[in-house]
Structure 1
Amino acid sequence: MGVSAVIGVDIGTSSSKGVLVDLDGRLIRSCTREHDVDRPQPGWVEMDAEVWWQEFVAITRELLAPGDTDVAAVGVSGMGPCVLLTDAAGTPLRPAILYGIDTRSTRQIATLNERFGGDEILQRCGSALSSQAAGAKIAWIAETEPHLFTRARRLFMPSSWLAFRLTGRYVLDQHSASQCTPLYDTESRAWYQPWASEIAPDLVLPPLGWAGDVAGGVTAEAAAVTGLPPGIPVITGTIDAWSEAISVGAQGVGDLMLMYGTTMFLVNTVPNRLTSPSLWGTVGALPDTRNLAAGMATSGAITRWLRELFGSPDYPELLRLAERSGPGARGLLMLPYFAGERTPIMDPEARGVIAGLTVSHTRGDLYRAALEATGLGVRHNIETMAAAGGEIRRVVAVGGGTQGELWTQIVSDITGRAQLIPAQTIGASFGAAFLAAQVISDVSIDVWNPIREVRTPRPELTADYDELYALYRQLYAGSRDVAHGLAARQARLMAPAPVRTHHEVRTEGVAR
């Protein structure tokens, strides 16, 4: 008999990650599969759901290959809210439309606001309609791809898709549902049938559970493919940022989880239901919790873009150059709106801006400006949360961007807030594993993932960063109209690819 352990797998924007963890929280093994999203037209971001399953299978088999563990439960999580529509048998009808980085549903947002009332949607659903809203993307499919939509019967997200493929059970967690605006009522914590039946009359919305609930047991068919023991429990799972918050114990009232990844995400646990037109008011991942959440459309995506633009030097070298540049990036200021922006400006037509460039600026200056742009965006979101009634008593950092000190130090310096950094910052997959372990054992996240260090702000930089933040706020206001004009030109000049329907053809007639 081997060591008793659990597996957690997370499907992210740029990669899928898996961990094998024993019941004491010791990380036995981890592995990653990198992938790319599809961008068939400006503002569209999609992914083939079959990739999610193939990567889950590959990750699970790699984690289990040494044969030294007995896996007792499986945890899943994934990016979201995404929209994967399938037929009644669970066969995908088109690639999944990803979360708020996909901005295609602007017209449907305007139509739904006019039909139901923007204020009424905000009060009932907890969030205003934005590029994040899964319901608006369902409306986009209904309007622009009716030949597919007439066959749509089920709605999945990455976590629920993995749970379905493993167990055969059709279920979604309450938190993910609360990001399906305007199909879900956050007060009653249930699908709001009057609006759901109008937007998607033939869609059978999934039964709802909580992230840590057992969706079902691994079927014999899934066991044969993955190598998992048949019958072991699989949790329902949730959206990655909320699994990240679970992984670092940021679930108490006043906690703020700050996720450093391809995008930057913030989840503040609040004592009661709060709404803001500039944020997302959601149901939490755990029972009886509520959140105010915020998300930037890019953060790590910009640093990756710069690395590729510079000829792919490694990240440690770029961080050394950025540290040498110093606070303020030698007079550069960046707006990080390279894929539009989610909160708090809710502007899908915003664009990235680099202001103050001269021929004397270096790669290190540009990289430093990108890191500082993230910190400035985090500060804007934190101030917006406070204005909406959120109270932030403790900030816990997680994600790949916590490796090394510079980025987290910049964010603390700009926001004036200390950040707790736990021993494990691998994130959502670790949170999914923890929820799976809770099903079979009495485990504590404080034992699994204790705090290892604290990043504190440097008061001598406060005045300089306050000045830079004021300029940051002015720069968006002053460049917004120009950015919108350029976004319109991009839409005209970038020849759109045909609407992708090959997936339907490829899967037509395939028995499941």
Structure 2
Amino acid sequence: MADLVIGIDIGTGSSKGVLADTDGNVLFSEVVRHETSFPQPGWAEHDADLVWWNDVVEICRKLTAFAKGDVAGLCISGIGPVFLPANDRGVPLRPAILYGVDTRSAVEIDEQTERYGEDAILEKCGNGLTAQSVGPKIEWVKKNEPEVWKDTRRFLMAHTYCVFHLTGAYVMDHLAASMCEPLYSPFTRDWIPEWVEDVCEDLPMPRLMWSNEVAGYVTDSASRITGLKEGTPVAVGSIDAFVEALSTGVSQPGQVLIMYGSTMVGVQITDKPLVGPSLWSCSGLLEGTYNLSGGMSTTGSLTTWVGELTGRGYDELSAAAAESKPGSNGLIMLPYFSGERTPISDPAARGVIAGLNLTHNSGDIYRSVLEATGYGSRHILETIANCGGEASEYWAVGGGTTGGLWPQIMSDIIGIKQLIPKVTIGAAYGDAQLAAMAIGAVSPTDTWNSVDREIEPNEDNAELYKEMFQVYLDLYPSSAPMVHKLTEIQNR
């Protein structure tokens, strides 16, 4: 009989857990919703105890109760990269500063870039400093919250925080570490000592491991809280987007994942580290692999925003958008409502809707949101290709793939065939697979997933979308000076 494993993913707006056997069969799943705090424009935070740990405990208790037997292994992934300062017992000293949607460290990005040199950072890290980078976030805490920094003895992310509280192990996977520019180099696969010392001072750095290795074992106290058996192996885990790639079977060079979520992420697997100045060049989940990837700041969250503005549900809005013509009747959106991560790396960018006239309706506006995601994704994927990423196939996952309109728009705009996997649970499913790898039940070269359906691009829309994509590219630099002024006013 196959062993049982649990995978848990901590997302921006919810956490999901799955109970699976080591043959890849999902037996039970659980979702817990939570809130993200936006205390100021450009800030995004999670309370590590109330969000991360409480979600993991609740999911573990429900899944272990359903299992009616011992669980052989556990793995957790989470949003990232994030910075949670904690004391030596892992107690959070402030809310966690989230990934690139939190843009507070713009000044520190410029300061560190000037201090270390843009070319030197590219040479060592594979990409420059952006709102996604952890080093500037640490610098921000040092400067603005010295009382927090004084007591900081642990540098944690969503998954490593939970691993620490489950096992006592202070670890970080190579992939997550490689998104902590300028602290880690994917070329040496190690911390960069001189920059770690300068940024982190005497803060002890976590031990580097691979995502499918055993970080530690569930302690007695964690067992009583979670329902997991004491001594259960816990894998290191990683950042959600990359574990989601694994969940689809995207693990080999040439494969690409497009993840439809609150934010959009594209992940290209490579066999060597590539330099991507405006992208995320990082180590892979598994030893011997690397990633070149990028992400947008606001995509699925924009569909929620339009729904709240109009008081209409997703199905109703999608039906209205389907009535709108390709190109949204001459309407185009820049989806930079929370700044933009890649490839423009501009935390001061904001949303723009251009071409409005009195004939436009909510269907046109909603379609422009879906198309903006397509333009932004095409921008990322073309930038990856220009940096040497050679794509052979594209897999797509996330809630947006369940409807027909959004993925079709994406294929039409990008000009690619998308493969939709049979199991679309997401990163939690990949976590379960990592847990199975950690206990030796699954090989790193195995995959649990297969193709369910394919989405071919509609060539009839290719020329129009080529024209609209160029408008998208031109609109940002032409509107940026005015938008930056408005952002400045918003931040007063």
Relative to the length of structure 1, the TM-score reads 0.93
Residue 346 (structure 2) pairs with residue 347 (structure 1): yes
- AA at the equivalent of 1:61: R
Deviations 1:13-40 (A, max 9, x none): 1111111112221111111111111111
Helix, strand or coil for the counterpart of 1:359?
Answer: coil
Which residue is equivalent to 1:5?
4
Helix, strand or coil for the counterpart of 2:70?
Answer: strand
User: Is the 8 Å Cα contact of residues 70 and 228 (structure 2) preserved in structure 1?
Assistant: no
Which residue is equivalent to 2:471?
471
- Name whichever of 260-269 and 34-43 sits farther off: 34-43
Residues 272 and 4 from structure 1, CA distance in 2 versus in 1: closer, same or farther, beyond 3 angstroms? closer
Residues 225 and 309 from structure 1, CA distance in 2 versus in 1: closer, same or farther, beyond 3 angstroms? same
Which residue is equivalent to 2:432?
433
Which residue is equivalent to 1:127?
127
Q: Please give the alpha-carbon distance, in whole angstroms, between the structure 2 residues aligned to 1:280 and 1:163.
A: 25
Q: Which runs of 5+ in 2 are unaligned?
A: none
Which residue is equivalent to 2:373?
374
- AA at the equivalent of 1:295: G
Deviations 1:22-81 (A, max 9, x none): 222111111111111111111111111002001111111122333445311101100000
Q: Please give the alpha-carbon distance, in whole angstroms, between the structure 2 residues aligned to 1:67 and 1:109.
A: 47
User: Is the 8 Å Cα contact of residues 3 and 69 (structure 1) preserved in structure 2?
Assistant: no
Q: Please give the alpha-carbon distance, in whole angstroms, between the structure 2 residues aligned to 1:105 and 1:405.
A: 38
- AA at the equivalent of 2:63: L
User: Is the 8 Å Cα contact of residues 134 and 179 (structure 2) preserved in structure 1?
Assistant: yes
Q: Which runs of 5+ in 1 are unaligned?
A: 493-512
Which residue is equivalent to 1:193?
193
Which residue is equivalent to 1:506?
none
Q: 1:206-221 alignment to 2 at 5 Å?
A: 206-221=206-221
Deviations 1:411-434 (A, max 9, x none): 100010111110111211110001
User: Is the 8 Å Cα contact of residues 247 and 445 (structure 1) preserved in structure 2?
Assistant: no
Which residue is equivalent to 1:489?
489
Sequence identity percentage: 48
Helix, strand or coil for the counterpart of 1:369?
Answer: helix
- AA at the equivalent of 2:34: H
Deviations 1:335-387 (A, max 9, x none): 11111101011111111011111222221111111000000001111111111
Deviations 1:397-447 (A, max 9, x none): 111211112111111000101111101112111100011012331368866
Which residue is equivalent to 1:499?
none
Q: Please give the alpha-carbon distance, in whole angstroms, between the structure 2 residues aligned to 1:273 and 1:88.
A: 34
* Deviation of 1:166 (Å): 0.8
- AA at the equivalent of 1:322: A
Residue 82 (structure 2) pairs with residue 82 (structure 1): yes
- AA at the equivalent of 1:53: W
Q: Please give the alpha-carbon distance, in whole angstroms, between the structure 2 residues aligned to 1:73 and 1:397.
A: 27
Q: 1:53-202 alignment to 2 at 5 Å?
A: 53-202=53-202
User: Is the 8 Å Cα contact of residues 3 and 68 (structure 1) preserved in structure 2?
Assistant: no
Relative to the length of structure 2, the TM-score reads 0.97
Residues 377 and 171 from structure 1, CA distance in 2 versus in 1: closer, same or farther, beyond 3 angstroms? same
Helix, strand or coil for the counterpart of 1:366?
Answer: helix
Q: Please give the alpha-carbon distance, in whole angstroms, between the structure 2 residues aligned to 1:58 and 1:291.
A: 32
Q: Please give the alpha-carbon distance, in whole angstroms, between the structure 2 residues aligned to 1:224 and 1:27.
A: 25
Which residue is equivalent to 1:306?
306
Helix, strand or coil for the counterpart of 1:392?
Answer: coil
Q: Please give the alpha-carbon distance, in whole angstroms, between the structure 1 residues aligned to 2:41 and 2:471.
A: 29
Q: Please give the alpha-carbon distance, in whole angstroms, between the structure 1 residues aligned to 2:64 and 2:405.
A: 35
Q: Please give the alpha-carbon distance, in whole angstroms, between the structure 2 residues aligned to 1:12 and 1:190.
A: 27
Q: Please give the alpha-carbon distance, in whole angstroms, between the structure 2 residues aligned to 1:442 and 1:149.
A: 41
Q: 1:445-460 alignment to 2 at 5 Å?
A: 448-460=448-460
* Deviation of 1:478 (Å): 1.4
User: Is the 8 Å Cα contact of residues 141 and 149 (structure 1) preserved in structure 2?
Assistant: yes
| Number of aligned positions between the proteins | 490
Deviations 1:285-340 (A, max 9, x none): 110111111010111010111111111x3212221111111311122111111111
Helix, strand or coil for the counterpart of 2:257?
Answer: strand
- AA at the equivalent of 1:74: L
Q: Please give the alpha-carbon distance, in whole angstroms, between the structure 2 residues aligned to 1:445 and 1:326.
A: 43
Which residue is equivalent to 1:260?
260
Q: Please give the alpha-carbon distance, in whole angstroms, between the structure 2 residues aligned to 1:93 and 1:331.
A: 49
User: Is the 8 Å Cα contact of residues 152 and 202 (structure 1) preserved in structure 2?
Assistant: no
Q: 1:401-420 alignment to 2 at 5 Å?
A: 401-420=400-419
User: Is the 8 Å Cα contact of residues 249 and 445 (structure 1) preserved in structure 2?
Assistant: no
